[in-house]
């Protein structure tokens, strides 16, 4: 009996040690990738210069800070906060193009402003967020999110504001805009029959890829998938909107499960690899983020989805992360699978920031899964 007990203890200890080693490897990789980025962009206040000058609170950089906040949650390094606050203070905690903007891409940076408010309770960090959302809510228009990327860029701003203020008008308005994009824009951008999203009205039927398949862009669906995770986290399981968002999340999860490549990554074109197949990081990282969260929160079955996450992480590390932390197979900006092609291991995308953000989101949630 003592021998059996001893063996059980040894097996349990071995399993714990394995999980600890795995989580440490995940964190080490995330740190390496982030260190590479912060070294390349030592001054976070500098404008970006891709074709033209843009302020560093544009959406591509805002997505990076989403990832950095996720990394900080599992790795409390004060350098991350200092770097973030230098950036946000420079932009006066204001959306790109000022408080009057209604463009979701301009609003994305406000996710991080709210995250910092949660940590500090410094009203200065969200006063312009409130002004901006008030103007949009009072406009009388809900048809703002005509492209699905916008759901990720802006919907969590509303859900986070609901979370910190308790005022339902924020999440009520966000759900009206989400539902319009889902069911009305272009006839409805979410194909519930296939569990995937058309990027915008340009891609709904009768548009087809060259092989006759529907056009579903990996990163586009990834943006929505990430937004669902963030909003469900903010509103909680008892909220009246949770069930409908969970239903969309599960439909997407089941569809994405079927699209994963044998090597663990996803193609830029989810169901039509004959057009634009190939390895791609950003969509993969966002799917890893969502599926890991789904398992961690009891929504997705670990037996079914954990192997998918493990394959995705292994592929990201082995196929995409360079020794110095540079990320390969990051598709450049655009609106469909053809954007930024060819996507390769060594190619530098037009913007290097959102790829890092997507990677950090996936890594941080996967870390919680394997911890």
Whole-angstrom distance, CA of residue 69 vs CA of residue 364? 10
Pair 115, 69: CB distance under 8 Å: yes
- Looking at every residue in the chain, the average pLDDT score rounds to 95
Task: Specify which residues 53 forms β-bridges with.
Answer: 49
Tell me how far apart the alpha carbons of residues 72 and 278 are, in angstroms, rounded to a whole number.
31
pLDDT tens column, 88-132 = 999 999 999 999 999 999 999 999 999 999 999 999 999 999 999
Distances (CA, A) of 317 to 281, 284, 365: 10, 12, 15
Residue 281 reports pLDDT greater than 80: yes
Query: What is the reported pLDDT for 294?
Result: 98
Confidence of residue 292 (pLDDT cuts 50, 70, 90): very high
Q: Please write the tens of the pLDDT for every residue from 185-197.
A: 999 999 999 999 9
276 CB-near residues (< 8 Å, 6+ apart): 267, 268, 269, 337, 338, 341
Cis ω for the linkage preceding 206 (within 30 of 0):
yes
Does this model's pTM top 0.85? My answer is yes
Predicted confidence at residue 181, as pLDDT, reads: 98
Cα–Cα distance between 22 and 25 in angstroms, integer?
Answer: 5
Q: What percent of the chain has pLDDT over 90?
A: 94
pLDDT of residue 122: 98
Is the pLDDT score of 73 beyond 70?
A: yes
- Please write the tens of the pLDDT for every residue from 215-273: 999 999 999 999 999 999 999 999 999 999 999 999 999 999 999 999 999 999 999 99
Average pLDDT (161-165) is 98
Distance CA 257, CA 305 (A): 8
Q: What is the pLDDT of residues 140-152, one digit of tens each?
A: 999 999 999 999 9
User: What does the pLDDT read at residue 272?
Assistant: 95
The 10s digit of each residue's pLDDT in 17-43 is 567 889 999 999 999 999 999 999 999
Structure tokens at 153: 């860029």
Alpha helices in the chain (DSSP H): 2-40, 59-74, 78-90, 104-107, 110-120, 127-137, 149-165, 168-183, 218-235, 242-259, 273-276, 281-296, 302-315, 353-370
Written as six digits, the tokens of 237 are: 């399981």
CB atoms within 10 A of CB 23: 17
pLDDT at 21: 87
pLDDT above 70: percentage of residues in the chain: 95
> Residues near 49 by Cβ (< 8 Å), separated by ≥ 6?
none
pLDDT band for 6, please (50, 70, 90 cuts).
low
Banded model confidence at residue 15, pLDDT cuts 50, 70, 90: low
For the cut 80, the answer to whether the pLDDT of residue 9 exceeds it is no
- Average of pLDDT values for 315-332? 98
DSSP code for 320: I
Mean pLDDT across 321-344: 97
């Amino acid at each position: 009996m003592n021998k059996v007990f001893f063996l059980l203890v040894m097996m349990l200890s071995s399993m714990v040690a394995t999980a600890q080693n795995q989580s440490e490897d995940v964190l080490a990789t995330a740190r390496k990738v982030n260190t590479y980025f912060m070294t390349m962009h030592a001054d976070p206040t500098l404008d970006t210069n891709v074709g033209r000058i843009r302020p560093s609170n544009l959406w591509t950089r805002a997505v990076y800070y989403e990832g950095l906040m996720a990394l900080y949650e599992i790795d409390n390094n004060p350098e991350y906060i200092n770097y973030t606050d230098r950036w946000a203070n420079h932009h006066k905690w204001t959306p790109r193009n000022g408080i009057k903007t209604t463009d979701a891409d301009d609003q994305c940076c406000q996710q991080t402003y709210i995250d910092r408010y949660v940590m500090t309770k410094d009203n200065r960090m969200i006063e312009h967020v409130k002004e901006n959302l008030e103007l949009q809510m009072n406009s009388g228009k809900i048809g703002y999110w005509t492209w699905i990327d916008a759901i990720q860029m802006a919907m969590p701003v509303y859900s986070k504001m609901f979370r910190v203020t308790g005022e339902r008008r924020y999440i009520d308005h966000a759900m009206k805009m989400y539902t319009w994009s889902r069911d009305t824009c272009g006839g409805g951008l979410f194909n519930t029959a296939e569990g995937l999203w058309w990027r915008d009205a340009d891609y709904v039927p009768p548009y087809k890829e060259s092989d006759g398949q529907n056009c579903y862009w990996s990163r586009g669906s990834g943006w929505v998938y990430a937004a669902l995770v963030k909003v469900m986290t903010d509103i909680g399981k008892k909220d009246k909107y949770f069930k409908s968002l969970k239903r969309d999340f599960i439909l997407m999860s089941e569809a994405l499960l079927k699209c994963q490549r044998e090597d663990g990554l996803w193609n830029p074109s989810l169901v039509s690899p004959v057009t634009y197949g190939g390895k791609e990081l950003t969509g993969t990282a966002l799917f890893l983020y969502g599926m890991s969260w789904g398992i961690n929160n009891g929504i997705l079955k670990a037996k079914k989805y954990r192997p998918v996450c493990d394959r995705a992480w292994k592929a990201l590390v082995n196929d995409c992360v360079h020794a110095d932390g540079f990320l390969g197979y990051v598709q450049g900006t655009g609106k469909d699978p053809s954007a930024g092609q060819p996507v390769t291991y060594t190619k530098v995308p037009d913007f290097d920031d959102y790829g890092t953000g997507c990677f950090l989101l996936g890594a941080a949630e996967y870390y919680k899964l394997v911890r």
